[in-house]
Amino acid sequence: MARVALLALLLPALVAARSAGIKYKRSSECFAGLGCFSNDAPFFSLYRPVSFLPQSPATIHPKFTVFTRDTSHEGHDITVGYATGLKQSGFSAERDTKFIVHGFIDNGGTDWMAEMKNELLVQGDYNVVLVDWGSGSLNLYGQATANTRVVGAMLAQIINFMTETLDARPEDMHVIGHSLGAHVAGYAGERLKHLGRITGLDPAEPYFQNTETVVRLDPSDALFVDVIHTDGAAFYSTSHGFGMSQACGHVDYYPNGGHKQPGCEDGVITHLVNEGIVTGAKEFVACNHLRAYHFFTESINSLCPFEGYRCDSETKWKNGSCVPCEEGGCGFMGLHADKTKPPRGTTHVKFFLETAPHAPYCRYHFKLTMTFAGTGRAERGEMYVHLTGTTGVTHEVEVTHGATYVDPGHSYTYLLTSPLDLHEIRDVHFRWVHDASVLDFGTWNVFGTRDPTLYMDRVAVTNGETHKSFNFCEHSMAITSDRVEIFSHPCDPTPTTNTF
């Protein structure tokens, strides 16, 4: 209930619009050098029933602060028209430039922006520009939504100023925006020719999802648009998702399905203890939504690749159909997403991956297929597995996520993850625990009169990153409840590599 109350306080304009169907008088506002902004269609629609006009540039007053490796702790503010200030900031047209843009009720002094900036400067010799539009985002959500259009226009102005003053190339510019900041990036890209890249970190859903492309981030806004979706549950649902589920990039990453992140179910006390009062409160209210920038920041210098698997749907992903990817078909969520781009003209390519509930988030993926013998009877229970590889051992994990039926002669496929790249798999440790259903007499073990047993023929493990498959065979190995059995006899003398 506390979470619902906090959400209502954060987004009163949305709640009012939903309940009362409020409409605003259509008009426009013009600002020197930026043009005119109308709240008429398509900025007024079924999906945006409350349409504000943006506030003035003087009111929003965004700041653009340049950091380089030489000025990593104390940046320099730049303004359009002041060439001396741009040159004195340390900005160099020889470097690639990364812009970081925050979202709703945030500002440029927030910890996550500083952390991302620092990681970027470790990874590469960049110009990093923090965009602070806190005077425009600390507002009713509807007003902050409208203000993104002016901030995007002013960001485009700054980029044009850099290109005109120092011959910087827009192709070398990369705008990273979280929440409303993702749409700020889209509005900037719409005004520029050949903006190199936009990364949308869980682009805000309310007033943007299902709108026309001119209203929201879309692939036409940059040469390459990659998006990370972490809070895509519908806003007007019990989950109150803040982020878009709609694909809006050339590539769209859906970690953990893109709507509910592991670890975010922690209670408010856990968040407050682990992250402090201010950050902990934000994490409790919007943990799924904020996880996008945590993923991106970790990806910058992570040895683990945040490999994503091309997949049409979350259902196919969960049943293991998309591991491994076809050769060259994997993607890399985060900074290194531009290592694999879809063919020209291709958009909305979806990638899925799993992460850990707490940092470090990145995980290596393994596809596990167990084939049971045709003997015995159907049993019900939970199945547990851990893997031994040439570089380490995983912890035992429950692969079934609850009791399931195991039928003789059938195969079952699951996904496993590990913080370690296990390389070659040496053996598979399997355990299951019988769990009778009250409603199914056939699963009962009345007074211990029988010994529930599974009979396993084969276990296959595919390393999602290397594409190598390791097959272990036993002939109807009998596995009784709560007993660990080890599969270590290869079906073939050497592991095979999947072919497509």
Q: Is 381 helix (H, G, I), strand (E, B) or coil?
A: strand
Residue with token string 């429950």: 398
Give residues with Cβ within 8 angstroms of 312, minimum separation 6: 350
By annotation, the residues acting in catalysis are 179, 202, 289
Rounded CA-CA distance 438/458 in Å is 31
Q: Phi first, then psi: what are they for 230, rounded to 5°?
A: -125, -10
Rounded CA-CA distance 271/113 in Å is 20
Question: How many Å separate Cα 278 from the centre of its chain?
Answer: 23
Q: Is 344 helix (H, G, I), strand (E, B) or coil?
A: coil
Contacts 24+ apart (CB under 8 A), 116-124: 116/176, 116/293, 116/296, 116/297, 116/300, 117/67, 117/72, 118/72, 119/297, 119/300, 119/301, 120/300, 120/335, 121/67, 121/68, 121/69, 121/72, 122/300, 122/301, 123/300, 123/301, 123/335, 124/96
Rounded CA-CA distance 432/430 in Å is 7
**Angle at 8 (CA atoms; ends 16, 229), nearest 5 degrees:** 100
Q: What are the tokens at 497? A: 């590599």
Rounded CA-CA distance 335/332 in Å is 8
- Of 30, 54, 28, 29, nearest to 41 (Cα)? 28
* E strand map for 191-238: 197-201, 224-228
Rounded CA-CA distance 316/220 in Å is 28
* E strand map for 222-322: 224-228, 251-255, 307-310
- Of 188, 259, 197, nearest to 222 (Cα)? 197
Q: What are the tokens at 78? A: 């730049």
- Of 369, 323, 321, nearest to 491 (Cα)? 369
- Of 385, 375, 450, 383, nearest to 407 (Cα)? 375
| DSSP track, 18-84 | HHH-------EEEETTTEEEE-STTSSBTTB-S-PPPPPHHHH--EEEEE-GGGSSS-EEE-TT-HH
